[in-house]
Amino acid sequence: MLSSRFNWQSSENSLNLSLKRSSKNEIIDLTTSNPTKVNLDYSCFRLSDYFCNSSLYEYNPSPTGNESIRSSICDYYSQRRQIIDKNFLLPSASTSEAYSYIFKLLCNPGEEILFPLPGYPLLYFLSKLESIQPIGYTLKEEATRWIIDFENLENSISNNTKAIIFVNPNNPTGTFFDKNSLQQMISICKKYSLALIVDEVFLDYCNFASDYEIISAVNCSEIVCLVLSGLSKIAALPQLKLSWIYLNAPSDIRSRIFGALEIVADTYLSVSTQTIEITPKVLHDCQPIQKAINERIKKNYAFMKRAFTEIREVEVCRYCAGWYGIIKINEFIEEEDFTYKLLSETGVYVHPGYFYDFQKSNFLVLSLIVEEDIFQKGTLILASFLSQYNSHNNY
For 37-46, the pLDDT digits (tens) are 999 999 999 9
Q: Beta strand 324-329 with 363-367: parallel, antiparallel or unpaired?
A: antiparallel
Banded pLDDT at 68 (limits 50, 70, 90):
very high
Comparing 92 with 359, the larger pLDDT belongs to 92
The Cα 338–Cα 363 span in angstroms is: 11
- Helical spans, DSSP H, in 235-358: 251-268, 273-284, 287-307, 335-346
Residue 6 has pLDDT above 60, yes or no: no
Residue 276 has pLDDT above 90, yes or no: yes
pTM of the model: 0.92
Neighbours of 58 (CB within 10 A): 9
Residue 5: per-residue pLDDT: 41
Q: Side chain identity at 61, as an amino acid letter?
A: P
Collapsing DSSP states into helix, strand and coil, what is residue 366? strand
For residue 163, the surrounding DSSP H or E stretch is: strand 161-167
CB-based contact 199:167 (threshold 8 Å)? yes
Average pLDDT, whole number, for the chain? 90
Contacting residues for 195 by C-beta, under 8 A, at least 6 apart: 106, 162, 163, 164, 189, 223, 224, 225, 226
For 324-349, the pLDDT digits (tens) are 999 999 877 888 889 999 999 999 99
Residue 209: per-residue pLDDT: 60
**What does the pLDDT average to over 127-135?**
97
Q: What are residue 41's phi and psi, to 5 degrees? A: -90, 110
- For residue 84, CA distances in Å to 29, 99, 234, 239, 395 come to 39, 20, 17, 26, 51
For residue 68, the surrounding DSSP H or E stretch is: helix 67-78
The Cα 281–Cα 275 span in angstroms is: 10
Among 3-7, 173-177, 251-255, whose mean pLDDT is lowest? 3-7
Comparing 285 with 14, the larger pLDDT belongs to 285
Collapsing DSSP states into helix, strand and coil, what is residue 116? strand
- The structural domains of the chain, ordered by start, are 4-41+288-388 (3.90.1150.10), 47-284 (3.40.640.10)
